[in-house]
Amino acid sequence: MAASTHWLEIAVPAHVEAVEAVSEILSRYGHNGIAVEVPVASRGGADHIVKAYLVDDADAFAKVADARDALGHLQAFGLGPIGELAVREVEDENWLEAWKATITPIQVGRFLVRPTWSNASVAGTITIALDPGMAFGTGLHPTTQQCLEAVSYLDLDGLRVLDVGTGSGILAIAAAKRGAREVVGVDIDPLAVRAARENARANEVTVAVHEGSGADVDGTFEVVLANLVGSVLVQAAPHLRARLAPAGSLVAAGITTQAEREVLSAFVAEGLGVVDRDARADWVRLILTA
């Protein structure tokens, strides 16, 4: 009789503002992605739990150590509180298939986002296949939903699109599938760059992904996507404006309601005005133009 596989569960408490960033980090090390436990009533602290699962093998210790190091670097971005990473053993040969069964496709705007092992389709939607990482858990993060909806309905046909802080590449992939002529994604994290390139290939679209920020890109784009966090958007406002073509659209998200005033002031100082605003679960997405 075959021995059951030994798994490790790594779990990190995180403030809602930090969930997406923590999810992206844990998805690098977990098997087929991550999951997120959302509190019934948020207390405002590190009350969301982001979990990943990895095989308990010779590489597990190094992966856990790398995850801890990467989480430590997040503090520099001024996100909400992030708790200590905890590790526990899971012994169940049927666990993986049971977990996969809980991950269901999600329809947002014109897109159907599904895990790579699913063959789900919905007539009239555009499919994006990604393993559960930033895109999943209990569902797409509100900021990702807000940006995907914007990409769903903006006219991208034949346009140049820049995705700043591309992460998994989901927004860049979505833009390419909506008919953008050229899509460029940038991220300061080399592991995110590699993941975004792999995800673009898996979805059979062309996205040029580079390591860096909006300041490292040449030229202008008719649409700039920036799903970041409020403090980073404030710092990046001049670079995002510089990348925006005349009459272009800047989609800015990852903004808490508390940070909205400061973020908006930074964009107004760059000569941008709001043409659309969406608020959801304490998160705000703005579409701005000059």
Considering the entire predicted model, what is its pTM?
0.76
pLDDT at 65 over 50: yes
CATH domain 141-289 topology:
Rossmann fold (3.40.50)
pLDDT in tens, 121-142: 899 999 999 876 543 333 467 8
Query: Which region among 99-108, 206-215, 230-239 has the lowest average model confidence (pLDDT)?
Result: 99-108
Judge whether residue 51 has pLDDT over 80: yes
For the chain, give every residue range classified as CATH 3.40.50.150: 141-289
Where in the chain are all domains bearing CATH 3.30.70.260? Answer: 6-101
User: How confident is residue 104, by pLDDT bands cut at 50, 70 and 90?
Assistant: confident
Indicate the CATH number of 6-101 among 3.10.310.10, 3.30.450.70, 3.30.70.260, 3.30.2040.10. 3.30.70.260
Range with lowest mean pLDDT among 101-105, 126-130, 258-262: 101-105
Q: For position 116, what pLDDT does the model report?
A: 85
Query: For residues 280 and 161, which has the higher predicted lDDT (pLDDT)?
Result: 161
Name 57's Cβ contacts closer than 8 Å, sequence gap at least 6: none
Mean pLDDT score of the chain: 87
Query: Residue 155: what pLDDT?
Result: 95
Position 266 pLDDT exceeds 50: yes
